[in-house]
Amino acid sequence: MKRGGGQAASQGSRYSYLKSAGPSAVPASPGKIVKMRLASRFAAAATAAFVFATLNSPAKAASGACEAADIQVLPSPAAPWKGAPLRVMIIAERPLEGAMSLVGPDGSVAAKSSERHGGAPYFWFAEVAAPAAGTWHASLALDRLPADCGTINREISVSARKPDPVPIPSRAFWQVRNSWNHATETLFSAWIAKLFDAPPDQDLNWKAWHEVLRDQSRNFLFNYLGRGEDNVKSGLRPDCADFGYFLRAYFAYKMGLPFGYSNCSRGIGGTAPKCYQWFDMEHPEQTRPPPPPEQEVASATLAAATPAQPPGILNLFGRQQSADAALPGLGLVVPSKPKPKPPTNFGEYLRDVGDVVHTGAVRVSGSDDNTDFYTVALTQESLRPGTIYADPYGHVLMLVHRVPEVDGKPGVFLAVDAEPDGSITRKRFWRGNFLFVHDPALGTPGFKHFRPVVRDKGGSLRRLTNAEITNNPQYADFSLDQAKINAEEFYDRMDDVMSPDPVDPVKAMTDAIASLHEQVKTRVTSVENGRKYQEKQPGEIGMPNGASIFETSGPWEDYSTPARDFRLLIAIDVVRGYPDRVVRRAAHYAMPNNKRIEDVKGELQAVLASELASRKITYTRSDGSPWTLSLKEVLDRAVDYEMAYNPNDCAELRWAAPENSQEASTCRRRAPQAQRAKMASEYRTWFRERHWPTKS
């Protein structure tokens, strides 16, 4: 069910969420979130703090297509003034056609845009670099709708002097002044979509997350609070789990929304991850919680089994142990003692959040209420920008855009993730990137939303339970459907969500090949980062034991590629088997009427061979020279990628260059024999059988 669904009689309750965020909430001032609905249907909501936009003809627009437009207008900064650029987004739930304009106090059009972005929600964007003081109007003139809908207008007051910044209470980083509901969730989705907006075929990547947030053309909320808050460099380098939390916290910080996070296990003894404690942003002094009871026992066991080491000795992974040590084989985070000082600013708060959260928090059982996420149905309405994907093997991605199906070309979801080396990359949804399997020891995989944080009657912040989400008309999108289907059914269902109509089989397979090509190019960056690290810091990187090669800390985590190569091998299987998949799901494809299925399969195999031969990647060898491989050569070496993830090996070996070949002649580094022996043992079986090991 669509977030915010429900009958007309329930809509009044939607606006009750907009009026107040609880006992400590303050009314939103002009320049805050704008929720547009028509007065005849929502008269009780007309006085809501966020609902102060006007329509040209409110009486006439009380029914029909305009009524369901569900439009919001958001100016930035929060308190516009003539000394800062005026940026405005108009957000709609439906794919409306129209032109957005920003009209100055003198009545002239200062900016205009007919370009609609996104895909549920949809948005328009316009900016004026140096706005004049006075009353501005943001308008959206709609096309292809009944004439009585009129033009949507919103007044925006631009001050002649710099306003006071948004107040922040003492011993806190932001004040809760708004609430999570359908409107603010839609704004979160639109902000995420704008942050990572680009043509679908464009390669989109950054070396660090601050490069994204400091790009004012992307980050609509840059310096939104008027405090110059985004001018401060934080040096944060979130991993894939941190990344989703950081984006949610950043948006909450800017918009005055509540936020919290959990202290969870990674899953031990064949059981799924579980969360033990939850901490909200109104109590930042508790951002570094004590370990859960089971972690205390594990910590004591580890201490008894580990010989004392003098200060300054490097640990197994090549650097001093971090403040929060990962327990080998247990997957638990044990905070060090004594307890660190509480954070003093938002950047420090995020750093502490990142020290506690990990992928286990995203894989907690879908039926558990004590978690930061809840599972949703596989529908276009539910899979919106900002939706999290929990990979069962410890990776996390976030959806940022849905590309619709057009003329037989398959639709696709685009997502972003953060890697251990700090890089941020946008990639396509497909089987090679989004792994799905049910294993009780791994928890619940699949698509999930952040669990809404609300203020209860006693004034405390808490998270809604699954039952409350189900019954809340603001959301009503909790679902355990993903837990009831197997992997093949999951991918079949996703194909149908992305492409409801039959697709051209050649175009569909070409898209899969493009996704594989994208995945291999991303590996080029990872291997190159490892090569550069070894140039700057020569020496052996310690290799963890057993399943910890996939999830640990330190340089091994940052520069090895076992998890990436495991997924790459699966991706290679998918592309090689695509012609057979078309045969199996023939009803999903627009099959030529005059051809037998065997003939179509033969044509697909020919196209596959041609595409693999024509697509290229180029990596840097040990001496700095480039070497180019075709995608066919990469696939032909697949068996060697079962042992190509060690950062102590030269780049040539990591790309499986044949022994004594010209390509391998520049290799100057090899992993220690002891490490190679471990890699050739049962470790290699995990890759060959495509079976991810679980920690005992």
Q: What is the 3-state secondary structure (H, E, C) of 455-471?
A: ECCCCCEEECCHHHHHH
Q: Quote the pLDDT of residue 271.
A: 85
Cis peptide before 121 (omega within 30 of 0): yes
Pairing verdict, β 122-128 and 34-36: unpaired
Q: Quote the pLDDT of residue 65.
A: 44
Cα–Cα distance for residue pair 2/4, rounded to 1 Å = 6
CA neighbours closer than 13 Å in the CB half-sphere of residue 148: 10
Q: Is 628 helix (H, G, I), strand (E, B) or coil?
A: strand
User: Which residues on neighbouring strands pair with residue 264, listed in sequence order?
Assistant: 275
Instruction: Answer whether 220's CB lies under 8 Å from 89's CB.
Output: yes
Q: Quote the pLDDT of residue 323.
A: 35
Q: Quote the pLDDT of residue 201.
A: 86
Cα–Cα distance for residue pair 582/119, rounded to 1 Å = 28
- Residues 6 or more apart whose CB falls under 8 angstroms from that of 577 comprise none
- Residues 6 or more apart whose CB falls under 8 angstroms from that of 325 comprise 333, 334, 336
Stretch (H or E) spanning 122: strand 122-128
The amino acid occupying position 297 is V
Sign, CA dihedral 71-76-82-84, equals negative
User: What tokens were used for 177?
Assistant: 């002044």
Instruction: Answer whether 354's CB lies under 8 Å from 236's CB.
Output: yes
User: Which residues on neighbouring strands pair with residue 91, listed in sequence order?
Assistant: 72, 123
- Chain Cα centroid distance, residue 175: 25
Give the full edge-to-edge strand order of the sheet including 97-103: 54-55, 151-158, 134-143, 97-103, 109-113
Cα–Cα distance for residue pair 564/197, rounded to 1 Å = 25
Cα–Cα distance for residue pair 372/450, rounded to 1 Å = 6
Helices (H), 196-292: 209-213, 240-255
Q: Quote the pLDDT of residue 90.
A: 94
Q: Quote the pLDDT of residue 94.
A: 87
Mean pLDDT by 10 residues, the chain (696 residues): 34 29 34 34 30 28 45 94 95 90 96 91 95 95 68 91 84 88 96 95 88 94 93 85 96 96 86 91 69 44 34 27 39 50 85 91 94 97 96 92 89 91 88 88 94 94 97 95 94 93 92 92 92 91 92 87 92 95 91 89 96 97 97 97 96 96 96 95 93 74
Cα–Cα distance for residue pair 206/198, rounded to 1 Å = 13
Helices (H), 438-504: 466-471, 487-498
In 548-677, at which residue ranges do the beta strands (DSSP E only) sit?
Answer: 616-620, 626-630
Nearest by Cα to 151 from 209, 251, 66, 65? 66
User: What tokens were used for 55?
Assistant: 């329509």
- 213-222 long-range contacts, CB within 8 A, separation 24+: 213/250, 216/85, 218/194, 219/194, 219/195, 220/74, 220/76, 220/87, 220/89, 220/125, 220/191, 220/194, 220/195, 221/76, 221/191, 221/250, 221/251, 221/254, 221/255, 222/76
Query: Cβ-count burial of 245 within 10 angstroms (0-12 exposed, 13-18 middle, 19+ buried)?
Result: buried
Cα–Cα distance for residue pair 454/460, rounded to 1 Å = 8
- Chain Cα centroid distance, residue 72: 23
Instruction: Answer whether 469's CB lies under 8 Å from 452's CB.
Output: yes
Q: Quote the pLDDT of residue 69.
A: 57
User: What tokens were used for 398?
Assistant: 């976030």
Cα–Cα distance for residue pair 424/427, rounded to 1 Å = 10
Cα–Cα distance for residue pair 55/153, rounded to 1 Å = 6
Instruction: Answer whether 326's CB lies under 8 Å from 302's CB.
Output: no
Query: Cβ-count burial of 548 within 10 angstroms (0-12 exposed, 13-18 middle, 19+ buried)?
Result: buried
Q: Quote the pLDDT of residue 169.
A: 77
Q: Quote the pLDDT of residue 5.
A: 35
Domains and CATH numbers, the chain: 27-158 (2.60.40.1930), 182-362 (no CATH), 505-688 (no CATH)
Cα–Cα distance for residue pair 2/383, rounded to 1 Å = 10
Instruction: Answer whether 441's CB lies under 8 Å from 273's CB.
Output: no
Instruction: Answer whether 183's CB lies under 8 Å from 35's CB.
Output: yes
Query: Cβ-count burial of 586 within 10 angstroms (0-12 exposed, 13-18 middle, 19+ buried)?
Result: middle
Cα–Cα distance for residue pair 39/27, rounded to 1 Å = 20
Cα–Cα distance for residue pair 359/223, rounded to 1 Å = 30
Q: Is 39 helix (H, G, I), strand (E, B) or coil?
A: coil
Overall pTM surpassing 0.85 (yes/no): no
